[in-house]
Structure 1
Amino acid sequence: MTTPILTLQGIYKRYQIGTAVETEVLHGIDLSLQAQEFVALTGPSGSGKSTLLNIIGLLEPPTSGTLQIAGQTTQGLDEAALTRLRGVTIGFVFQFHHLLPAFSALENVMLPAIIEQGRASSALEKQALALLERVGLGNAAHKKPSELSGGMQQRVAIARALLLQPKLILADEPTGNLDTKTADEVFALLQEFNQTHGSACLIVTHDPRLAARCDRQLTLVDGRLQKDFAQASRV
């Protein structure tokens, strides 16, 4: 059996440990994602979805439990090693775009390559342009974020997340700022990338229509996975 792209075992997260207001946000999360799986994470606000996504994305550590990404156990890794693993393995699409305002759309898409390799080659620039074309922004490649609508900025962020062909894509409401037609196109792009490159995708969404099109749907309630079921098929 192939090694999962992502494995969580007994993940707990507590804040304000040892104080009168100590709070446990995640209560023993077990989860495994295989290559090419396309999984929705749903649940009410305050259920712990963002915390779980931050832990999976190596942005904050769990209080206890183990986390493996692409066969690499993260426990005991220093910040430099975590940054390296995050950079080469994970593609992020946040609810907010986090584009650099002084850079063009094209330069923002190429940022992961610039950070990882110290420069962007002509081949990567061509790949970045192709991704912008794919999300409908080929004509906006040299525009700054301030010249783009919120939905357009989100599409730039999605193209950026896909540039280095990550093994794991984490997306927090990636279509939340988009109209239905553009949301469907972006969703289709993520699914296409997921199948073509064998990545695993975990997408936080409040849209039941999109969640129903995923391979699996996880439901997180009060820091616990209440449901983890396979869909009948993709639509």
Structure 2
Amino acid sequence: MEAIVELSGVRKSYGVGTAVEAEVLHGIDLRLEPGEFVALVGPSGSGKSTLLNLIGLLERPTSGTLHIGGRDTTTLDEAELTGLRGRSIGFVFQFHHLLPGFSALENVLMPAIIERGVAGPDDLRRARELLARVGLAEAEHKRPSQLSGGMQQRVAVARALALSPRLILADEPTGNLDTRSANEIFELLLEFNRDTGAACLVVTHDPSLAARCQRRIEIVDGRVAN
């Protein structure tokens, strides 16, 4: 089976060619299969966020290869990377990054608008279905300021799934929530993982959440430790 994500010998340095060049990731090998739900753990400063940014095509590796859905991303230009990212990857962050001037429904429609320039009837239907699945069907016209933190993160989860991505990347998605809301968000991610077969990679500092994942990848000092 073709991996959703495959990294081979990936290194990432900052300040390349300067006197203060620093290598953050040191030869990462990693494979993520379709349908896997994986925790990415490690101490602060270990390179987790950098690794997530690389897999999310927000940054490029300094060396090594990174394949997403079988495509070698190191050969793609910026426009091609943007297109692949929009079609294949959904993001959920610790801070939801919803657009404050738009309704919950409009925020969920935003990936389709960015991808195609306009949201069509199918996009609208999909957005409403997702809001209903995260328990916010009655809140589609509310703006983020009218929603609780947990509700805002539910909208962010729905937005991440708007284009039916094959890969969901979640960076501390429950880190800013109370225990009950955190559990609800985690359950939503697990549910969508089971229902759609999308792979999910979750950065978390919560050992109880990491224990509920199928697999755990630990990063220590820029290297895979397990």
Superposition TM-score, scaled by structure 1 size: 0.92
Quote how far apart the aligned CAs of 1:164 are: 1.1
**Whole-angstrom distance in 1 between the partners of 2:174 and 2:50:** 20
**Whole-angstrom distance in 2 between the partners of 1:51 and 1:151:** 26
**Whole-angstrom distance in 2 between the partners of 1:80 and 1:52:** 21
**1:114 has 2:113 as partner:** yes
Is contact 1:135-1:185 (8 Å) kept? no
Quote how far apart the aligned CAs of 1:130 are: 2.2
State percent identity of aligned pairs: 68
Structure 2 counterpart SS, 1:75: helix
**Whole-angstrom distance in 2 between the partners of 1:101 and 1:182:** 21
Task: Map 1:138-153 to 2 at 5 A.
Answer: 138-153=137-152
Residue in 2 that maps onto 1:225: 224
Residue in 2 that maps onto 1:76: 75
Write out the 4+ residue segments of structure 1 that deviate beyond 3 Å after TM superposition: none
Quote how far apart the aligned CAs of 1:219 are: 0.8
Residue in 2 that maps onto 1:177: 176
Aligned residue pairs, count? 226
Is contact 2:47-2:221 (8 Å) kept? yes
**Whole-angstrom distance in 1 between the partners of 2:133 and 2:206:** 23
Quote how far apart the aligned CAs of 1:22 are: 1.1
**Whole-angstrom distance in 2 between the partners of 1:124 and 1:175:** 27
Quote how far apart the aligned CAs of 1:155 are: 1.5
**1:58 has 2:57 as partner:** yes
**Whole-angstrom distance in 1 between the partners of 2:100 and 2:224:** 38
Q: Which deviations, in whole Å up to 9, do the C-alpha atoms of 1:16-39 show, x marking residues without a partner?
A: 122221111000100000000000
Quote how far apart the aligned CAs of 1:187 are: 1.5
Structure 1 counterpart SS, 2:142: coil
Quote how far apart the aligned CAs of 1:136 are: 2.5
- Greater displacement, 204-213 / 137-146: 137-146
Which residue type is aligned with residue 169 of structure 2? L
Residue in 2 that maps onto 1:38: 37
Quote how far apart the aligned CAs of 1:182 are: 2.5
**Whole-angstrom distance in 2 between the partners of 1:21 and 1:151:** 41
Is contact 1:38-1:216 (8 Å) kept? yes
**Whole-angstrom distance in 2 between the partners of 1:131 and 1:178:** 21
Quote how far apart the aligned CAs of 1:95 are: 1.9
Q: Which runs of 5+ in 1 are unaligned?
A: 228-235
RMSD of Structure 2 on Structure 1 (CA) = 1.2
Residue in 2 that maps onto 1:94: 93
**Whole-angstrom distance in 2 between the partners of 1:35 and 1:148:** 33
**1:197 has 2:196 as partner:** yes
**Whole-angstrom distance in 1 between the partners of 2:116 and 2:97:** 21
**1:27 has 2:49 as partner:** no
Quote how far apart the aligned CAs of 1:117 are: 2.3
Residue in 2 that maps onto 1:233: none
Q: Which runs of 5+ in 2 are unaligned?
A: none
Q: Which deviations, in whole Å up to 9, do the C-alpha atoms of 1:162-221 show, x marking residues without a partner?
A: 111100100001112222222222222211211221111000001111100101001111
Structure 1 counterpart SS, 2:225: strand
Is contact 1:14-1:24 (8 Å) kept? yes
